[in-house]
Amino acid sequence: MSLAALRPIVICGPSGTGKSTLLKKLFDDFPGKFGFSISHTTRAPRPGEENGVSYHFTTRESFLDLVKADGFIEHAEFSGNMYGTSVKAVEDVAKDGGKKCILDIDTQGVKLIKQHHPHLNPVYVFIAPPSLASLRTRLTGRGTETDSSLSARLAAAIGEVEYAKTGAFDVVVVNDDLERAYGVLKGIVVENKTEGDKLPAFEE
């Protein structure tokens, strides 16, 4: 398949909106068609982890060199180790792996790609909840949140929805009924369709 047909797919949407659920269905249905990029990290490999497979293991010095060279789409430090998604790792999924790269990132990451790495030319997909009330129900139902993490995620969701309202995404998928939403997502990422759903007004 041509590299143009293997444009990376950026999947973005509020926490709890169902991104992982939808992507799991896609990976299960189309084994070998999609891939995630391999991240860089400065942490030491654990037993069984292979360089270039689990992660690109690197020294802090080379990691920082790559940061300076604007080689990362996003990077962050967690408990003393640096982690990042490099531009090259995303390109390699198509070039070396022959797969479409799926990037599950937040709106900050979307903004960084648009500002610093537009040549990646991804298809930007926003996964929207049907309403903020349903997002609250899903996050509560998942059983992973405390009161404060729930409030933080809902506050972040409002900011993400506001960003989506600016037209930053090529296409929107409203995850109301899972099978219906999956059908729309599949149309976009497998059949290269450009029609999605209308972004809800979120006026509650």
Ligand X SMILES: Nc1ncnc2c1ncn2[C@@H]1O[C@H](COP(=O)(O)OP(=O)(O)OP(=O)(O)O)[C@@H](O)[C@H]1O
Write out the residues near ligand X by the rule CB under 6 A.
13, 15-21, 138, 141-142, 175, 177-178, 181
Give CA–CA dist 134/82, Å, rounded: 35
Of 75 and 138, the one with the shorter C-beta distance to ligand X is 138
Q: How far is the CB of 123 from ligand X (least distance, A)?
A: 18
Token pair listed for 34 = 């999609």
Q: How far is the CB of 110 from ligand X (least distance, A)?
A: 14
Of 62 and 140, the one with the shorter C-beta distance to ligand X is 140
Q: How far is the CB of 52 from ligand X (least distance, A)?
A: 26
- Contact 73/90 with Cβ under 8 angstroms? yes
Give CA–CA dist 61/133, Å, rounded: 46
Q: What are the contacts of 136-140 at 24+ separation with CB within 8 A?
A: 138/16, 138/17, 138/18, 139/15, 139/16
Of 20 and 62, the one with the shorter C-beta distance to ligand X is 20
Of 27 and 57, the one with the shorter C-beta distance to ligand X is 27
Q: By C-alpha distance, which of 119, 126, 137 is closest to 170?
A: 126
Q: How far is the CB of 197 from ligand X (least distance, A)?
A: 13
